[in-house]
Amino acid sequence: MRWLSNRARDQSPHSLFLIFATLLLALTVVVDLLFHTHLEHRWISWALLVFCLGCSAASFLSGRRVPRALGIVGTIVFIAAQSYYLSLAGDPQSVVASVQQLPIIAFYLGWFIAPRLAGLLIAACLLCFGIVMAMNPLLHRDGILGVPVAVHALLTLAVCYGAGLYLWRRQLRAASTDSLTGALTRSGFRERLERSLGRAGAPGSFALVAIDFDGLKALNDRDGHAAGDAALTRTVMSWSTRIRGRDVIGRLGGDEFALLLPRTSAREAAEIVARLIEQGEHAWSWGIAEPLPGDTPETILDRADRALYARKRRTRGASEVGAASDAAPTASIADPPASETAGGSARDSGPKRDAESGREGLPVLRAAAEAFLRRQSPFSLVTGTVSLVLAIVFAVDLAVGHPHFQFALVIVFMSVYALGAILPFALGSRFPRWGGFAMVLVSAAWSSFLLLNAQHLHASVNALLELPLTALYVAWFFARPVAYCYMAFTVARVSLTLVWNPDFGGGQVSGVIVIAYAILIAVFCFGGAIAVRRQVHHEELTDPLTSALNRRGLLLLSPRLRARAEREGDASAIAIIDFDDFKQLNDEGGHAAGDAALRDSAGAWAGAVGMRAPFAKNLGLVARLGGDEFAVLLRGDAEAAEAMIRRLREASPYRWSWGIAELVPGEDLDGALERADAELYRAKRRR
């Protein structure tokens, strides 16, 4: 039992998705083997069942270390299996089951596979499935299922992939951007560095510059952290306007930054650094490293870090730029092309273009598309896209027709969905949340009507195909209580179809199997979206180094703790903690020693105040405000907080100072933080 518990705690979102996706597919195969009496070539289904169970077991055993290759192999097997089932002209049950399962692979590729490879795989899916569907008489104009089902299935596949990719990557960008400076966070920069190492070839493929601000601790101690924050923000803004468009700035922690300079040698990097220092207002030290065979992000960062501290020891804080021989290691030197010295932005806020590409030759259509996307929010863009997909399905129905075609009904629903696409696109970021929920209710009304009254199988299948897409939409954009209520309502209304319409399927397919598949897949997509959204939200609110909250997380979660304390008659207090001689610790032991001190201390504080996880019912909160500055919010008055912090300080192997402020009812957290910060610096001056 303990082994199972340990394995369960070792899972990542990727491994959990693979486990449950393959189990779901295995369950559908079991249902086919048990209840589908006309199933052809049953050995294929048995082989697929064994493969799904094997993938699920391998994912569970691998946990966080599950290889991406396993998912890619599973994707290829899925494409082959679904292509086979979609080709069965004499088995509408298998064809319907296959089109229902397509969103599973779309979400997986959008959420967990690198965009370039995922794009190739989704293109292979669309090509293979499109060819097979075009050759299957069941999906022809006069077929039992008809052309609209094929179009709906392929559009849902593409949109589920696109929506999943867009939302996931956008949220990750938000989570990987430092809220103070706009640079990448440590985890975001590490990911970019890892990709660069994967493409690295000969010396000069890229250079890494480690940067450490000089005198920031003294500035903070003299003028307060607001002055230090302002210096960091202005300096990073200055860098971003003077480096090239392909260069990347990362904030590794506190006053530690790094520059990733693609297609740059050590000598060229030193020249770029020289220009940045000459035009900057605050002094900083630096060290350069180029990639070596077998490098990892940690090894090349460590080499740049050692070059930085070697320079510090030689110059004792001097700010002049040395020769490129100070870099570790160096490569062949060449003068940088003039085009490589143009200014640009390093912020990861959209598509990168080299400065030399310019905007003069930008086609009109591309410019219009960029302007359109700038006006949109994720909510308006996805709302409009979902409505557009459903409008296209009705348009295909109108264009192709079938023996049971209802012209007036198709016109009405197509018009409603066309309006549902136009309004979000036109209003953009101003599109209200209630407008999206109205679209969801219209979709529910449409699908319920078709499930109860459709006289043709293709209409009923189309009504079920919209469920995974709306499940993703509701799970991602609406509060969890609203999302769960909607999903419960959806499960109930779709299940009751078998009661209200006992002839569902018309004898051509098993109504029980089709409805069960639809519910299982919709619930799976809903649960996957909830889990991924929660994971991304967790990354947005926590510091990747220490697992403490970041400033954003503290501001978001502190009202809950304060409200609970007030309800129970308790006071709340906040402590600001600032490490003493942290710069010396970094200088003597390198940033690895400083990182260890921050991690160990944050873990000890979190355990002492009862912080289990960001969204748990915590007794206290620990947040890293920046660098070596932390905040601890706990229940109790200032005297109790002082006693607890003093006990923690006595038990700590590291030296730090603190200031405490008791929160006044109705006071915002920023005001209490300022009072605690003032107490901290009074304590420092008394030392």
Quick: pLDDT tens for 627-679: 788 999 988 888 888 999 999 988 988 888 899 999 888 888 888 888 888 88
pLDDT at position 324? 40
Q: Please, which pLDDT band fits residue 344 given cuts at 50, 70 and 90?
A: very low
Treating both helix axes as pointing N-terminal to C-terminal, what angle do 378-400 and 457-477 enclose, rounded to 10 degrees? 170
Query: Backbone dihedral region of 66: left (phi > 0), alpha (psi from -120 to 50 degrees) or beta?
Result: beta
pLDDT at position 567? 86
pLDDT at 367 over 60: yes
Treating both helix axes as pointing N-terminal to C-terminal, what angle do 433-453 and 407-427 enclose, rounded to 10 degrees? 160
pLDDT tens digit string along 514-526? 888 889 889 988 9
Q: Please, which pLDDT band fits residue 50 given cuts at 50, 70 and 90?
A: very high
Instruction: State both tokens at 308.
Output: 């930085």
pLDDT at 374 over 50: yes
CA terminus-to-terminus distance, the chain: 53
Q: Please state the rounded mean pLDDT for residues 342-357.
A: 37
pLDDT at position 76? 92
Contact between 405 and 145 (Cβ < 8 Å):
no
Which residues have CB under 8 Å from 99's CB, separation 6+? 86, 149, 150, 152, 153, 461, 465
pLDDT at position 127? 93
Out of 210-219, 269-278, 325-334, the most confident range is 269-278
pLDDT at 503 over 80: no
pLDDT at position 329? 41
pLDDT at position 174? 66
Contact between 373 and 380 (Cβ < 8 Å):
no
Is this prediction's pTM over 0.85? no
pLDDT at 586 over 80: no
- DSSP per-residue letters across 381-445: HHHHHHHHHHHHHHHHHHHH--TT--HHHHHHHHHHHHHHHHHHHHHGGG--HHHHHHHHHHHHH
Percent of the chain scoring above 70 in pLDDT: 87
pLDDT tens digit string along 529-567? 888 778 777 777 888 788 888 888 888 888 888 888 888
Regarding beta strands 206-213 and 284-289, do their DSSP bridges make them parallel or antiparallel, or are they unpaired? antiparallel
Percent of the chain scoring above 90 in pLDDT: 12
pLDDT at 353 over 50: no
Burial 350-359 (b: 16+ CB within 10 A, else e): eebeebeeee
pLDDT at 110 over 80: yes
How far apart, in whole angstroms, are the C-alpha atoms of residue 81 and residue 48? 8
Q: Please, which pLDDT band fits residue 474 given cuts at 50, 70 and 90?
A: very high
